[in-house]
Amino acid sequence: MANRPPRAATRSGTTRFGTTRFGTTRSGTALICALGVTLLALATAGCEDDTAASGRRQPATRADLAADRDGGKTLRLGEPTSVTYKRGSDHMRGALRVTAVSVRKGTHAELRTAGAEPSDVRTTQPYYVTMTFENIGENSLHYPFLNTPTGLEDTSGVDDQPLITGDTEVTACPGKDPDDFAVGAKVSLCKVFLVPNGIRPSVVTYSTGDDTKRPVSWKVTR
């Protein structure tokens, strides 16, 4: 049966179609529709809030699914690869094209200028690892930690320690992450590693996302 327009009550208690002292039937219908849309919007927002509060991660994008194919492999310096980006604190996901560009020896004088510990200056040799990153995913990344997963393994099979000097950087190796990394953006970052005297770096590693036990590696050439 076809829907009939709602009937409006008059002050006397009888009902009739058309104009009443409270407005037209059309106005009442519009009001009901507007209320329905508002309630639907509120219900949808509530579902989104519940999803965020539940801690469920964002679904992987097509770029994510194409990433991590080189996990566990050793590439040549300068060869790019795609990896899943994942920040665990808020389940932010994305996809990056990452390249280990170069590994070069630094100087002890640069370590001293950056405020390194005297013992580190005496017992280690600094090496500068330059990486490039491109956001190939579908989301902008706010306050990302792009360079943090970069690692350096030496010829003894040991993961070398990065230089930590607070906010002071080695001038020859700038490595501050961008605050916002938009879709399609590119950046080059450098990271300082302290390799024990007499030992050489062997491979650069990078591991983030869901497969951190199988990092992609780049062979350091002599």
Domain boundaries, the chain: 17-53, 62-219
Mean of pLDDT values over 170-195: 94
Residue 12: pLDDT over 60? no
Query: What confidence category does residue 212 fall into, taking pLDDT thresholds of 50, 70 and 90?
Result: low
Question: Cα torsion for 35, 39, 40, 41, to the nearest 10°?
Answer: 100
Q: Please indicate, yes or no, whether the overall pTM of this predicted structure exceeds 0.75.
A: no
Decide which of 1.10.10.10, 3.90.79.10, 3.40.640.10, 2.60.40.1240 is the CATH code for 62-219.
2.60.40.1240
Alpha carbon distance 198, 105 (integer Å): 13
Percent of the chain with pLDDT strictly greater than 90: 45
**Can you tell me the distance from the alpha carbon of 192 to that of 175, in angstroms, rounded to the nearest whole number?**
9
User: What is the pLDDT confidence band of residue 52, given thresholds at 50, 70 and 90?
Assistant: very low
How much is the mean pLDDT over the chain?
75
